[in-house]
């Protein structure tokens, strides 16, 4: 809206820009079950590896939007079976819900989202299942999301109304007559209309 005039006579310009809609963090926790491992005597260690963010979606919510980020990783468990040790690996797909509240009341279009890992998937505990032939591993991950979008800003454009020498008051600020003193580096503009 270039050249629009406001109620008080100012000129407005509309600037379209990309801005941050909002930021948020979300945590996902779950249990990964390994079964059919034989007689498990002891869990020696667990680790989550090869984390990658897959599909990302934005869904409306009551307070703003929710980012749904799907993460994929592998969980490994090292355990004692009989008189030997063994390792089992299981791929995991998990969805992290990240609530994002808007920063301000502006309306946004063409929204995009960036997801980053705050705390990658980690194994937080492990236990042998009741039957003794499996292991349950508790895992968790924390992701952050930042949503940006196009929005518009209305800015006031000051009107420049040049004065003719007859209208100018020689004593008013900004009215210059004669050369400037040395060291005076104020900016000035002159209109030759």
pLDDT computed for residue 188 by the predictor: 38
pLDDT computed for residue 50 by the predictor: 93
Top pLDDT among 174 and 88 is at: 88
Top pLDDT among 67 and 60 is at: 67
Top pLDDT among 110 and 68 is at: 68
pLDDT bucket at 62, cuts 50 / 70 / 90: confident
Supply 105's token pair.
């009341």
For the chain, percent of residues with pLDDT exceeding 90: 52
| Mean pLDDT, rounded, for 54-83 | 92
Distance CA 99, CA 103 (A): 13
pLDDT computed for residue 161 by the predictor: 61
pLDDT computed for residue 186 by the predictor: 42
pLDDT computed for residue 178 by the predictor: 52
pLDDT for 190 beyond 80: no
Other CB atoms within 10 A of residue 2 CB: 8
Q: Are 108 and 42 in contact (CB under 8 A)?
A: no
pLDDT computed for residue 90 by the predictor: 95
Top pLDDT among 22 and 191 is at: 22
How does the average pLDDT of the chain come out, rounded?
82
pLDDT for 181 beyond 50: yes
**Closest residue by Cα to residue 126 from 42, 37, 66:** 42
Distance CA 137, CA 31 (A): 5
Supply 99's token pair.
């609530």
Supply 58's token pair.
């934005």
pLDDT for 4 beyond 70: no
Q: Are 133 and 39 in contact (CB under 8 A)?
A: yes
Top pLDDT among 34 and 107 is at: 34
pLDDT for 189 beyond 90: no
């Amino acid at each position: 809206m270039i050249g629009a005039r406001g109620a008080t006579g100012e000129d407005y310009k509309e600037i379209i820009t990309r801005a941050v809609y909002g930021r948020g963090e979300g945590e996902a926790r779950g249990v990964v079950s390994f079964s059919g491992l034989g007689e498990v005597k002891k869990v020696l260690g667990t680790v989550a590896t090869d984390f990658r963010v897959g599909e990302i979606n934005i869904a409306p919510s009551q307070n703003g939007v929710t980012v749904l980020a799907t993460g994929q990783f592998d969980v490994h468990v090292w355990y004692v079976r009989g008189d030997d040790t063994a390792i089992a690996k299981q791929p995991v797909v998990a969805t992290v819900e990240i609530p994002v509240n808007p920063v301000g009341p502006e309306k946004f279009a063409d929204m995009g989202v960036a997801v980053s890992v705050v705390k990658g998937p980690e194994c937080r505990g492990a236990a042998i299942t009741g039957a003794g032939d499996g292991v349950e591993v508790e895992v968790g991950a924390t992701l952050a999301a930042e949503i940006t979008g196009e929005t518009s800003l209305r800015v006031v454009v000051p009107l420049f109304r040049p004065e003719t020498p007859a209208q100018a008051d020689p004593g008013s600020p900004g009215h210059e007559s004669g050369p400037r003193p040395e060291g005076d580096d104020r900016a000035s503009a002159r209109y030759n209309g």
